[in-house]
Amino acid sequence: MSESLTPRLVGVFLKGGDLRPFWRFMLSVPLIILAVMLAVMASGGLRPHPAWLGRTLGSLLWQELFLFPLLLILFRALVGVLDRKPLGAVGFAFHERWKQELAEGVMLGGGMMLVVAGLEHTFGSARFSSAALPPESTLVAAALYLFFLLLAAANEELVFRGYAFQRLAEAIRPAGAVVLFSVLFALGHLANPSHTLISTVNTVLIGVLLAAAYLRTRALWVPLGVHFAWNYVQGFVLGFPVSGLSIPHAWLTAQVHGNRLLTGGAYGPEGSWLTTAVILAGLVYVSASPRLRVSQTMRRLNLPAAPWPNPTEPQEIFPHLSSLDKKE
């Protein structure tokens, strides 16, 4: 009796001698939480400077600086030991199309935010004026915000679209993982000031878009570009609050008034129904554009056993992964 049960029990945890994707996901989650907690604790006693960021963003900068290497070390261990793959398999491999994918994401994320700003201006809800900073101060602020927001976007992509998301998508099919991690992404923003129901819905939707961009390319370059450019254009270029956080020393000053459903109020454009419409349009683009496809390198790293359609043809937003874990 016990001898017949042993292979079944082993089969619950192992397949082909490897830990099943679901258990790799379960193992990674507490380790990611631990890495975030260590970064918060390590940055807790440090001064929240440079002064141009302000106290809140200055404290966040230290957290991001500590978190990034911790995540890289953690994911290198997980993907190396459990998956026997290089760190690049998590999504930041410098493959043959990584520059194009990053540029595609930057154009999409920045373009979407410019459309939101244009709609607010058209409806008379937002006006923009120069912040009248000295040229040298503007250049310094542009470079420093680029570094800070790029680092923050990279960390959030690793946490919410990185190893844990990828293993869960492999274990239960992508749609379930997309929903769960997009909700978690939104819950992670509830600590931000001035959040609303609309801002939470929009954060879920942008999480779906970012996850879909990963699934279309099996890399994190497009999500990183979208995430970074969305925040950079929103905060530094246009002078809007970014998820409820004000950006000092922005290039432009946004003067917002009128219906909060159109402006997002103190939370910024992410709390607006106009942004909801733009995100949905962006999601349609991500799901249908033939420009987004899996590179040969990422296909080899992440889809070794899965048939894939002609790379010149549009792919489904949630590719079918059943061939990665066929029933025994």
Helix 273-288 and helix 197-217: axis angle, to 10°? Answer: 10
- pLDDT recorded at residue 204: 98
Q: Say how far apart CA 115 and CA 109 lie, in whole Å.
A: 10
Which neighbouring-strand residues pair with 127?
A: 255
Secondary element (H or E) of residue 130: strand 126-130
- pLDDT recorded at residue 58: 76
| Three-state DSSP state, 131 | coil
- pLDDT recorded at residue 9: 63
Give domain limits for the chain: 95-324
Regarding pTM above 0.85, the answer is yes
Per-residue pLDDT of the chain (328 residues), as tens digits, is 455 556 666 667 788 778 999 999 999 999 999 999 999 998 876 665 666 666 677 788 889 999 999 999 999 999 999 999 999 999 999 999 999 999 999 999 999 999 999 999 999 899 999 988 888 888 988 999 999 999 999 999 999 999 999 999 999 989 999 999 999 999 999 999 999 999 999 999 999 999 999 999 999 999 999 999 999 999 999 999 999 998 888 999 999 998 899 999 999 999 999 999 999 999 999 999 999 999 999 999 988 654 434 444 444 444 433 333 333 3
